[in-house]
Structure 1
Amino acid sequence: MAKSTFNKAKVSAIVTCVPENHRFLEDDIDTLYNGDIKQVNRIKKSIGLNKRHIVDGDVTTSDLCEKAANKLLYDMQVSKNEIDAIIFVSQTPDYFQPATAAYLQGKLDLSENCAAFDVNQGCAGYVYGLWLAHMMIETNSCSKVLLLAGDTLSKVVNPLDSNVATLFGDAGTATLIEISESQNPSFFTLHTNGKKFDTIIQPEGAFRKPSKKIINDERIFETSEKRSLKDFYMDGAAVFNFSIETEPKAIKEILEFSGVTQESIDYIIFHQANKYIISNIARRLKIPLDKAPSETTGKYGNQSSASIPSTICDAINNDVNEKELNLILSGFGVGLSWAACQLTLDKIYCPDIIYYK
């Protein structure tokens, strides 16, 4: 297990950008639910789905992250020469080559002295990105790191696949991590179970041909007009079981490692898989639901690597703008990977979610 404590870094700002284009669950009632409004209402009530924001045309994850980054840099009055590194966390890059981070470094007109690299991570990716940024500052390699995390999974989900089509929304986020003299340490724990890599997978599209010798779940090869091997696949039941089994342990682990009590945590921000999963995890941990926001999925969809910063901007931005908060951030999913951190956000810049038109 990767376990880290950092004392020199802080999060100063978080900005989230989502596409203005959106769809309500009812918009797919005929194509996905045979016109059954009762089924739609059951899904809205049980899972918490309602609306998702998705890109149209040629808009990519980098476009959303670029807009979020420009707002952050302008409003925070950060000189573009001050950014020492840019980390792009996503599983929907613009290109296989070059790294989208390099492309964004040029688009944002950052200094040539800026390091730039991509991290191929999804649901736990934001915590992974924070871990890397904190490490870079802790080792005196950087003073300011720009973390850009986002995904446009609507581009890889078959719109006819009722198992996943209505789950996922698109978003791009920008987070500024910088050197700090604060006495508030940050704590991280990270895990991986790659033996279950095919629980969430896009089988085709890269360089390995899908093979039953490697992929264990034979349902992945069951294709139709609703899903090809180039489309996103998820074993929903396995993901649910993984989530409710690992997340309570992950939260207890980060609390023990950081030495803080659950009662002293202001909010636990989970990856917004869906409301049903989050409420189940919260119940197992005996966390009051108002301490574990779960409404963001219903407004914007499951935003993969962007869901944690998006939830901060959506659900608690007024609080983090005005006072010091002790938080736990916890991501879990594709990989299978899970990661948690305990940190303090102290009157950071965190505006309402902005829209990409």
Structure 2
Amino acid sequence: MKYAFIGPISTYLPQRIETNQQLQDEFPGWDMDLIYTKTGIASRHIAAPGECASDLGVKAAQRLFEEHQIDPQSIDFLLFCTQTPDYPLPTTACLMQQRLGLRISCGALDFNLGCSGFIYGLSLAEGLIRAGIARRVLFITAETYSKYIDPDDRSLRTIFGDGAAATLIEACPEPTLDGFQFGTDGSGADTLMVTDGGARLAEDAHTPRHRKRWNSRLYMDGPALISFTVGAIPQLVQNIFSAAGIPKSDVELYLFHQATRKMLEQLQEALEIERDRMPIALETVGNTVSATIPLLIHDLRQQNRLTQGAKHLLVGFGVGWSWGGCIWHDHYGNGG
């Protein structure tokens, strides 16, 4: 039996950086000091008009291949998580297979999940490897939420940034991912949504939970999302520890989806976690949706903050509503 192992991670962020000071200059009425206090975000990277999630993901994967001497022909399966695909069809992962020079016997698929997407992708990679279908999985998370946001939207423009991460998931002889737990509650679909661009007619589509204040294609009910998160995640964490059969004291770091500082601080309080055990790393990148957790892991590796052999808790939550988590036995440490 083979199991999934989180190997090296490479990232790519668009060249354009949008700072809070630039937003303040553009909109003098916005209270950017108050916004920063709530979000913890001082700047974010924004994709160029013709730059899509696949472009970011391809660049992250190319960096992965170059930085870690990985042969693209050795990849057995490509998983691509995004909520901003290039087209409704074809599958963006198929386009990326060709651009990355992966062999034509390589499997490739997209899956549409946001802030819980990294956890779901890990479980899919684990299943492919355990089933003997793949030994090397290239898992790319990339988002360009900025393309859904109106320039005048104070609530969303200050939060979301664009970015991508490419993670190599490899087969190994012992388990490194344990205690997977998931949750889904479609009754919360109307709190974070883009209703156009699909096949459903506008008159039959879901509508935002409350009146839209801005002209963005993306709608978000921030208070409802915070309430859902603080209500659901403590139980999820308890379920993960029970499923993995380990005590809370075994976990070194809590690596959570980087939503906003306010949300993470409320989770710290609800879970009674010391601040230094739940890193917050979104000040210069913002909320990059499915890419936040691998970007966080990459940053912690760069800072030599991951102890080889330690156990960490990975948790994602958000749009859908969808949430999930697992225990990660990190045998790679700061090698990335």
TM range (shorter): over 0.9
Name 1:323's counterpart in structure 2. Answer: 308
Give the TM-score normalised by structure 2.
0.94
Question: Given residue 269 of structure 1, which amino acid in structure 2 is its aligned partner?
Answer: L
Note the residue ranges of structure 2 that are not aligned, 5 or more in a row. Answer: none
SS at match of 2:325: strand
The yes-or-no answer on 1:188 pairing with 2:180 is: yes
SS at match of 1:219: coil
Name 2:107's counterpart in structure 1. Answer: 115
Residues 46 and 185 (structure 1), Cα distance of their counterparts in 2 relative to 1, 3 Å cut: closer
- After superposition, residues 86-101 of structure 1 pair within 5 angstroms as 86-101=78-93
In structure 1, how many angstroms separate the alpha carbons of the residues matched to 2:67 and 2:81? 23
The yes-or-no answer on 1:282 pairing with 2:268 is: yes
In structure 2, how many angstroms separate the alpha carbons of the residues matched to 1:235 and 1:323? 39
In structure 2, how many angstroms separate the alpha carbons of the residues matched to 1:217 and 1:184? 40
- Is contact 2:161-2:286 (8 Å) kept? yes
Match of residue 142, structure 2, among 127, 139, 150: 150
The yes-or-no answer on 1:29 pairing with 2:24 is: yes
The yes-or-no answer on 1:242 pairing with 2:228 is: yes
In structure 2, how many angstroms separate the alpha carbons of the residues matched to 1:80 and 1:279? 40
Shift of 1:211: 3.7
The yes-or-no answer on 1:72 pairing with 2:70 is: no
The yes-or-no answer on 1:347 pairing with 2:332 is: yes
Name 1:259's counterpart in structure 2. Answer: 245
Name 1:337's counterpart in structure 2. Answer: 322
- How many residues end up aligned between the 2 structures? 336
Question: 1:43-85 deviations in whole A, cap 9, x for unaligned?
Answer: 2123212111111131111111111111212232222221110
Shift of 1:317: 3.7
Question: 1:170-202 deviations in whole A, cap 9, x for unaligned?
Answer: 011111111101354523111110122111001
- Is contact 2:301-2:333 (8 Å) kept? no
In structure 2, how many angstroms separate the alpha carbons of the residues matched to 1:157 and 1:350? 37
Seq. identity, %: 31
The yes-or-no answer on 1:63 pairing with 2:55 is: yes
The yes-or-no answer on 1:45 pairing with 2:40 is: no
Name 2:132's counterpart in structure 1. Answer: 140
Note the residue ranges of structure 1 that are not aligned, 5 or more in a row. Answer: 1-5, 352-357
Match of residue 227, structure 1, among 203, 215, 218: 215
- After superposition, residues 296-315 of structure 1 pair within 5 angstroms as 296-315=281-300
In structure 2, how many angstroms separate the alpha carbons of the residues matched to 1:280 and 1:105? 40
Match of residue 179, structure 1, among 138, 159, 171: 171
Shift of 1:285: 0.8
Name 1:3's counterpart in structure 2. Answer: none
Residues 124 and 319 (structure 1), Cα distance of their counterparts in 2 relative to 1, 3 Å cut: same
Question: Given residue 268 of structure 1, which amino acid in structure 2 is its aligned partner?
Answer: Y
The yes-or-no answer on 1:19 pairing with 2:14 is: yes
- Is contact 2:38-2:260 (8 Å) kept? no
In structure 2, how many angstroms separate the alpha carbons of the residues matched to 1:63 and 1:160? 26
SS at match of 1:343: strand
In structure 2, how many angstroms separate the alpha carbons of the residues matched to 1:174 and 1:350? 15
Question: Given residue 6 of structure 2, which amino acid in structure 1 is its aligned partner?
Answer: V
